[in-house]
Structure 1
Amino acid sequence: MTFPTPSPADWKALAEKALKDRPLESLVHIDADQLIVRPLYAGATGVETVRAPRPSDADGRAWDLRTLVEGDDPEAVNAAALDDLRGGAASILLRGEVLSDSEPLGRALDGVALELAAVALDAGLDGPDAANALAVAAKGSPRARLRFHMDPISAFAETGESPRGMAEHLDLAANTAARHAGAYPEATLFMASGRVVHEAGGSIAQELAFVAASVVEMVRAADRAGLSAEQALKGTVLGVSVDQEYFDSLAKVRALRLVWRSICQAFGLDLPAIIEARSSRRMLSARDPWPNLLRLTAAGFAGAVGGADALVLDGFTRVEGRSDAFARRQARNTQLVLMEEASLGRVDDPASGSWYLDHRTRDLAEAAWAEFQIIEAEGGLLEALRGHLIQPRVARARAVLEKALADGGKHMVGVTKFVDPDPRPASAEPAPAPVLQGGGDACVPLTPMRLAAPFEAKEAGQ
């Protein structure tokens, strides 16, 4: 049996009828990057198919299920890490005072087989010290799967200050990487992340451009430390945020692979991208945390379908503090359901062939590359941050987001729509206030924001 194939003209006639008095152009959307999103895509629009798959699976699984463990007490962190690994996580991301020295970090990793479970770090400007501590804790095992994740640029951009000049911080990270690269061939060295832009309200192209500019800064620093461009690029993990806007988020992950290809080609190389996607914190609500479970599920879907190599979901109570055991379990099980029950990883790059998603992926990649070229023309990422050139552009994108929510163009479940008048509380562990480290470089910070915050403040005032 055959079915008729409708043409764009057929769709137009039905759309105009459904819109009644509204013009067809009202279905066209312009995003914060000034990219046009049309209501209908078809082969007639000339969309070129994009292929941006993961290079391989993660030890037989579709992606690396990475869990965030935060803490200052080594024994508590150890118990949480082992619980997550026994519960289905493949790797852990550590944050907190346990990274301050090899002794507490070694206790926190007691019983963790570093040759099987990758350990990643989130230590900000203290990344080189944390990397040294992890290297000691690994006891020289050449098969240890260490993810040093040194990323001084993101920490500087978020806080607006650093204890040393940023060139010195970059050189320190690069020299630390050069020292450990030979002993730990399975390790990755740097994290080039654009999450700081996303969390400050930035657009997708701005976030991806920040990633690309970070990569270039780290390669330059690695060259000064005696590492080749190939060694530096092979040792770099790309960090990106995924949120409840799952089509845009999965297109973002795919677009990042296209941007990476262009960067590698500029160095005369052809290397696979390693992408770690983390769930957005700007999308989380505080007053009623339970709808965050829906948002985190959507973010996990986007990361999985978009082809992230590793995926980290926050606990649903992360706004109120560090995730407790229940919140970590929910974050872990969300990924397990997506992977093992929904089987999202069984199809390689499932978005490929979708006219809309292929078009959106290519648009985002091209817009990101144009923004990256602007940053390079401004003297590179650090000069653009110091010169207050990136921050106003991010602020304009943030204003577009906030206006869409305020005007009703966008909604947040539990915040602007379907608001629970008597939300149930959820527990979280207290998180220490961040300690600023000044005295060196300075810039206007890309301060994290939350989209729900104005509505929650208004609700509290009533």
Structure 2
Amino acid sequence: MSATRSLADDFAPADLAAWRALAEKGLKGRPFDELIHRTADGLEIQPLYTSADAGGRTGPLTSPAVDVTRPWDLRGVVSATDPVEANRIALEHLNGGAASLLVEARGALADQDGLVPALKGVLLELASVALDAGADGARAADALAVAAKGSPRAALALHLDAPSAWATSEGADLAALTISFANTALRHAAAYPQASLFMASGVAVHDAGGTEVQELAFMAAGAVQAARAAEAAGGDPAQALARTVLGLSADQDVLLTIAKLRAARLIWRQLAGAVGIDAPARIEARGSRRMLTSLDAETNLLRQTAACFAAAVGGADAIALDPFDRVLGIDSPVALRQSRNIQLVLMEESHLGRVADPLAGAFAVEQLTDQLARRAWAAFQAIEAEGGLNAALLSGRLPDQVAEAAEARAARIASGDLVMIGVNQHPRPGDAPPPPVSVADCPLPLRRDAVAFELKAFEEAAHAAS
């Protein structure tokens, strides 16, 4: 039997000093620090990593997919407010390759008379329906339970998330939402044992311009808040946590998105261990809404593809992408189709499900995962020290911190330090967006990255037309 031979045998041993000398030569007098990228949280991403940087974690954080051709739940977004149109889009998604639906059940669609016809023809024991209902969450959950009547094994996702609902609504009562959502969850828990009840999401923080650490800390604090609310309503906090879904945004920064999702699993392990449950994290990744632009809107397709790739590699259990032209107020058939086909190509043609946690052991990813998890856990502890997520929101401290991060992000985009193709670099001449939409008056409003450039383009177009 021949001896095992390393592929590196024919090469000289790696020498970090020699590599640095070559790197500095290439910089031609510029400081080496230019090769170091710093995240919005101040974390450093080095140009080169070694095994010493891996943080001691080289094992996969996710399990192999049951079906490698469909390794995650492709979730079609239904945002129409008219029940007939919502039903058409829902069936189009399911017939076009989606496995489940994320229904934005606001207003009329949050009631039984709206949601039930919107789900006509949807087999709820085969296609899971998740809700994005904001402050209407309790009404929408009740309506979904009616729609699922006769299907006790329906894998509903009620997604009750009081902190996010309050933070993204105008004039809501956080204490009332917390009590109402907890009572609603417990009321439906026994009738639908396969249903997830709560969502602990950091998406509101991301879309308001927050950092990755802020988003993860909000997510962790939201999970604890849901468990406490369930206990106060007479339920089992451990079971409430076990039936909680984690929500995170995925954007065009592939490395950070991958590390953020992996860090969420490390944080979940700590939370689950604290209450004595052995339940894996379930993560729903939503395509970032702050990254979408009405200027050269087709570039949103590229951002969504990068975001979807990162979410899949990071181990998301479900992924939902908005239509690329949603900012234009269109949701065109081709955009709805592309929101599915981006995922289908990555699943079925690029075979992303064939390896579990494919970047496990990559030194840069392991270190960034570890740094994000540690910093987010410290931020979560600070929220807990203030009395929990509700207290941190009502005090204004947390919204103020997110607003500060958003201002810093906007400054980087304005200066060109943070690049948006088609917006602050390589804009399409004469591309004028629709009239700008005012920012909602709520604690964590959606702050899209391109708004300042869209406003300028709109004003220039209006001036040229006058």
Per the normalisation by structure 2, the TM-score is: 0.91
Alpha-carbon separation, structure 1, partners of 2:30 and 2:347: 42
In structure 2, give the amino acid aligned to 1:119. V
In structure 1, give the amino acid aligned to 2:171. E
In structure 2, give the amino acid aligned to 1:452. A
- The one of 59, 76, 86 aligned to 2:95: 86
Which SS does the other structure have where 1:159 is aligned? coil
Alpha-carbon separation, structure 1, partners of 2:306 and 2:348: 16
Deviations along 1:189-240, one digit per CA (max 9) or x if unpaired, are 0111111111111000000000011111110010122221221012111110
Which SS does the other structure have where 1:65 is aligned? strand
Alpha-carbon separation, structure 2, partners of 1:445 and 1:373: 21
Whether the 8 Å contact between 2:134 and 2:169 is mirrored in structure 1 is no
In structure 2, give the amino acid aligned to 1:37. I
Alpha-carbon separation, structure 2, partners of 1:283 and 1:38: 25
- Number of the residue aligned with 2:62: 54
Q: CA deviation at 1:265?
A: 1.6
- Number of the residue aligned with 2:140: 130
Whether the 8 Å contact between 1:149 and 1:188 is mirrored in structure 2 is yes
Alpha-carbon separation, structure 1, partners of 2:370 and 2:29: 33
Alpha-carbon separation, structure 2, partners of 1:120 and 1:211: 18
Alpha-carbon separation, structure 1, partners of 2:109 and 2:439: 15
Q: CA deviation at 1:389?
A: 0.6
Which SS does the other structure have where 1:334 is aligned? helix
- Number of the residue aligned with 1:255: 263
> Do the aligned partners of residues 400 and 424 (structure 1) sit closer, same or farther apart at CA in structure 2, a change above 3 Å counting?
closer
- The one of 111, 114, 117 aligned to 2:127: 117
> Do the aligned partners of residues 73 and 406 (structure 1) sit closer, same or farther apart at CA in structure 2, a change above 3 Å counting?
closer
Whether the 8 Å contact between 1:54 and 1:308 is mirrored in structure 2 is no
| 1:161 maps to 2:159 | no
- Number of the residue aligned with 1:41: 49
- Number of the residue aligned with 1:209: 217
Residues 129-148 of structure 1: pairs in structure 2 closer than 5 A: 129-148=139-158
- Number of the residue aligned with 1:458: 456
Ranges of 4+ aligned residues in structure 1 off by more than 6 Å: 432-436
In structure 1, give the amino acid aligned to 2:180. L
> Do the aligned partners of residues 406 and 434 (structure 1) sit closer, same or farther apart at CA in structure 2, a change above 3 Å counting?
closer
Q: CA deviation at 1:403?
A: 2.5
Q: CA deviation at 1:303?
A: 0.6
Q: Give aligned pairs, total.
A: 449
Whether the 8 Å contact between 2:54 and 2:361 is mirrored in structure 1 is no
| 1:108 maps to 2:118 | yes
Alpha-carbon separation, structure 1, partners of 2:66 and 2:99: 9
Whether the 8 Å contact between 1:160 and 1:446 is mirrored in structure 2 is no
Alpha-carbon separation, structure 1, partners of 2:131 and 2:188: 15
In structure 2, give the amino acid aligned to 1:113. L
Which SS does the other structure have where 1:189 is aligned? strand
Residues 437-452 of structure 1: pairs in structure 2 closer than 5 A: 445-452=443-450
Deviations along 1:367-421, one digit per CA (max 9) or x if unpaired, are 1001001111111111111111112221222233222223332211111112111
In structure 2, give the amino acid aligned to 1:150. L
Deviations along 1:78-110, one digit per CA (max 9) or x if unpaired, are 111111101100000111445332233221111
What percent of counterpart residues are identical? 50
- Number of the residue aligned with 1:387: 395
- Number of the residue aligned with 1:336: 344
Q: Which runs of 5+ in 1 are unaligned?
A: 437-443
In structure 2, give the amino acid aligned to 1:133. A
- Number of the residue aligned with 1:172: 180
- Number of the residue aligned with 1:9: 17
Q: Which runs of 5+ in 2 are unaligned?
A: 1-6, 461-466
> Do the aligned partners of residues 413 and 183 (structure 1) sit closer, same or farther apart at CA in structure 2, a change above 3 Å counting?
same
> Do the aligned partners of residues 5 and 76 (structure 1) sit closer, same or farther apart at CA in structure 2, a change above 3 Å counting?
farther
Whether the 8 Å contact between 2:129 and 2:156 is mirrored in structure 1 is yes
Q: CA deviation at 1:435?
A: 9.8
Alpha-carbon separation, structure 2, partners of 1:374 and 1:268: 23
Whether the 8 Å contact between 2:328 and 2:433 is mirrored in structure 1 is no
| 1:70 maps to 2:79 | yes
Whether the 8 Å contact between 1:58 and 1:309 is mirrored in structure 2 is no
Which SS does the other structure have where 2:78 is aligned? strand
In structure 1, give the amino acid aligned to 2:414. A
In structure 2, give the amino acid aligned to 1:77. A
CA RMSD of aligned residues (A): 2.2
Per the normalisation by structure 1, the TM-score is: 0.92
Q: CA deviation at 1:159?
A: 2.8
